[in-house]
Structure 1
Amino acid sequence: MRICIVTEYFPGGEDLDIRGGAEACAYNEARMLSEKHEVTVLTSRTPENPGDYTAGNMQVMVCGPERRYVQAGSITGRLRFMASALRRGLKLDPDVVIGYNFITHPVAWWIAERRNAAAVARYHDVWLGEWIKNIGLSGILGEVLERYTLTRRFDRIITVSGYTAGKVLERYPWQRVSTVHNMVDFRAPKVERTPGPSVSCVSRLVEYKRIQDLIRAVADLRDEFPDIRCRIIGTGPLEESLRKLALQEGADENVEFLGFVERHEDVLRVVAESWVFCLPSVVEGFGIVVVEAMGCGTPFLAAEIPPVVEASQGRGGLFFRPSDWRDLRDKLKLLLSDSKLRSRLSSEGAEVFSGYSADAIGEKLEEILMEVTHHKGNE
């Protein structure tokens, strides 16, 4: 197959550092598919990716003016990227075009329509009616584009979870939807656990991630665990207010904000060193960081929401009531106090993690792509 992948960001530089879930999904799947198929990637021009390049068996074409990695906003930059990616994509002759996030789904659709290729949307979550609540006024662009995307008749929408598939089909029952979980395939860093009790978190610092719940829980546990250490990786608009919260709660010496960590390997090291990994988020499409924690042998503590329960298969960690920092505190206390429980959950997580290997997920994805291109060719 000739496969065109459209992704807002793609790892660049010598180390091919990955910074976000959709980017990781696109890279891992592109790399796996390129072992057997011709893969061309359309992505943003960034300081790390200033010009077209080859990564393994993949041809990467950078589009639009240079811009830095962003998680929200940048409406003008994103629109210019979309226009450039469309122009370059129309010069290709793909069998299938896959979009990986809300600004690339329409581009994949337009290229596929004009080049008579199969159109596929790799879907992480449905935010219809929630964009502005989740990320502010810049969410207007997401709201418009997602409504447009889900009213197109894609040859297939491939969701990362059954939970997300259900959300698509609830509103658009005529869409053709399949589920293939995210590929999570890496070698766990060989590191020692921290000598004292520790918890890590990898998250955007936005309201729906509920980092404030973790900070309050850690602050409340200082009497029982005076040397508790909480390391938070990520940036976002709430960073300053979260720092102030830690100070107000008297936990500023226990809570460390590491900001944006460039190397994914370094992120995994922090997770692997921790006694517990925490994801307090109440909005997720899949929960890839929980699977990564299991791959590092670190038990997780997460808000009990359907996509994360699905991703973990309910094993490898404990769940607390969403947005309930006191329940989070109680479960965190249990995990930090019971080494046998942590060991059992670590073993469970390793078993679950093995099911997310590149071979297992890649085979499912390839089968669906072969099916949609075969059907398109017979129309």
Structure 2
Amino acid sequence: MKICFITEYFPKSENLEIKGGVEAVAFNEAYYLSKDNDITVLTSYEEGMEKEKNIGNIKVIACGKKRSYTQKGSFKNRLLFMKAAYDVAKKLDFDIVVGYNFITYIIAWRIAKKLDIPCVARYHDVWIGEWVKNIGITGLFGEILERYFLSRDIDLLIAVSNFTANNLKKHFPEDKIVVVPNIVEFKKIESEKFENRTISCVSRLVEYKRVEDLILAMDILINQNGSKYKDLKVKIVGTGPEEEKLIDLVKEKNLYNNITFCGFVEKHEDVLKIINSSHIFCLPSKVEGFGIVIVESLGCEVPFVASNISPIVETSGKKGGLFFQTENYEDLALKIQTILENPEIYKKLKNECKQQYELYKGIYIAEKLEKCYKFLINR
């Protein structure tokens, strides 16, 4: 099959330089499907990229003018990218086209119409009615795009979780929705545990990820428990518009000796090493469609503490970690304390990690995706 993937951002090399989960999903699926299919990825032209190059068996075409990574807003640059990707794709030959986020869904649909081929959307989460709440007034752009897209005659929506699929059914025909989870697979990471007990958090620093709840939980553990947790550390990996606000909160709570902001870590392997070297992983987010980093913590056999939201509960199978009440940093502190002070619980959670991680191996998920695409092409 000749498959076109449209993703707003894509790694520059096999080092997997990613800033968000969508890029990781697109790369992993392109990688596995490229073993038996011709995969072309259309993506933004970022600093350090070539206009065209091959990453393994994947052909990558950077579309439009050079632009910087952005997590919200940037309407003009995003619209220019959408047009540039469409202009490139309409001159090429594909059997099927797959969009990977709300910006690229519309492009995929228009390309499919132009080339008379099936259109698929890899759907991570449904934000209809929640855009402005999640990212502010700039979310109106996303709200309009998502509503418009789901009103089109798309051939198939492939949801990453049952949670996402159930939300899609409110806005789209149920018989055109299937569930195939994300591929989350990596080589065994070799790294020593950090000397001090350490909690890692890998997240975009945006409001709905609720990283401040982890900081406030640390305030309880370190500043309100005497010297019991004075050596407890946190490493926060990621960047975003909330970074300065979060740094100020750390200073306000006098936690600058305990909490480190690692910024953007270019190599995915180095991100995994931080998780692997930690004793606990934390994801305090109130909005997720799947929770890739939770599966990565499972793969590293690092017990997690996460917010009690349906996608994360589903992805983890309630194995390998404890859940706290969303946006309740006092409960988060309690769950961290439970893991730290109970070796038997820690051992049990660690043993559960490996079994759950096996469910997300690439070979199984790529086979499911391939069947979906072949069905659409051959019908």
Verify the 8 A CA contact 1:188 1:272 in the aligned structure 2.
Answer: no
Please say if 1:261 is aligned against 2:265. Answer: yes
CA RMSD of aligned residues (A): 1.3
Whole-Å Cα distance in 2 between the matches of residues 10 and 204 of structure 1? 16
**One-letter amino acid of the counterpart of residue 80, structure 1:** L
- Off by >6 Å, runs of 4+ in structure 1: none
Q: TM-score, normalised by structure 2?
A: 0.96
Correspondences of 1:230-241 after superposition (within 5 Å): 230-241=234-245
Correspondences of 1:49-68 after superposition (within 5 Å): 49-68=49-68
Shift of 1:195: 2.3
Whole-Å Cα distance in 1 between the matches of residues 104 and 175 of structure 2? 18
Secondary structure of the 1:140 match is helix
Tell which deviates more after alignment, 237-246 or 272-281: 237-246
Verify the 8 A CA contact 2:15 2:269 in the aligned structure 1.
Answer: no
**One-letter amino acid of the counterpart of residue 358, structure 1:** G
1:43 match: 43
Please say if 1:287 is aligned against 2:291. Answer: yes
1:178 match: 178
1:361 match: 365
Q: TM-score, normalised by structure 1?
A: 0.96
Please say if 1:277 is aligned against 2:263. Answer: no
Gaps of at least 5 residues in structure 2 are: none
2:221 match: 221
For residues 67-104 of structure 1, give each alpha carbon's deviation from its aligned partner in whole angstroms, at most 9, with x where no partner exists: 12221122111111100100111111211100000110
Please say if 1:249 is aligned against 2:253. Answer: yes
1:153 match: 153
Which of the residues 330, 350, 353 maps onto 2:334? 330
Secondary structure of the 1:152 match is coil
Tell which deviates more after alignment, 244-253 or 148-157: 244-253
| Aligned residue pairs, count | 375
Secondary structure of the 1:333 match is helix
Whole-Å Cα distance in 1 between the matches of residues 19 and 187 of structure 2? 18
Secondary structure of the 2:170 match is helix
Which of the residues 291, 308, 312 maps onto 2:312? 308
Tell which deviates more after alignment, 302-311 or 8-17: 8-17
1:112 match: 112
For residues 103-132 of structure 1, give each alpha carbon's deviation from its aligned partner in whole angstroms, at most 9, with x where no partner exists: 100100011111110100000001112212
Secondary structure of the 1:43 match is strand
Verify the 8 A CA contact 1:199 1:278 in the aligned structure 2.
Answer: yes
Shift of 1:220: 1.1
Tell which deviates more after alignment, 318-327 or 53-62: 53-62
Gaps of at least 5 residues in structure 1 are: none
Whole-Å Cα distance in 1 between the matches of residues 188 and 76 of structure 2? 39
Secondary structure of the 2:297 match is helix
For residues 117-164 of structure 1, give each alpha carbon's deviation from its aligned partner in whole angstroms, at most 9, with x where no partner exists: 010000000111221221223222211111111111211000111100
Secondary structure of the 1:103 match is helix
For residues 277-335 of structure 1, give each alpha carbon's deviation from its aligned partner in whole angstroms, at most 9, with x where no partner exists: 00000100000000001111110100010000111011010001111111100010011
Whole-Å Cα distance in 2 between the matches of residues 318 and 294 of structure 1? 12
Verify the 8 A CA contact 1:209 1:281 in the aligned structure 2.
Answer: yes
2:10 match: 10
1:162 match: 162
**One-letter amino acid of the counterpart of residue 143, structure 1:** E
User: Given the superposition, is the C-alpha separation of residues 16 and 264 from structure 1 closer, same or farther in structure 2, using an over 3 Å criterion?
Assistant: closer
Secondary structure of the 1:184 match is coil
1:121 match: 121
For residues 333-353 of structure 1, give each alpha carbon's deviation from its aligned partner in whole angstroms, at most 9, with x where no partner exists: 011122332222122111111
Secondary structure of the 2:102 match is coil
1:96 match: 96
**One-letter amino acid of the counterpart of residue 296, structure 1:** C
1:79 match: 79
Whole-Å Cα distance in 2 between the matches of residues 302 and 172 of structure 1? 30
Verify the 8 A CA contact 2:19 2:238 in the aligned structure 1.
Answer: no
**One-letter amino acid of the counterpart of residue 369, structure 2:** L
Verify the 8 A CA contact 1:102 1:142 in the aligned structure 2.
Answer: yes
Secondary structure of the 1:171 match is coil
**One-letter amino acid of the counterpart of residue 315, structure 2:** A
**One-letter amino acid of the counterpart of residue 104, structure 1:** T
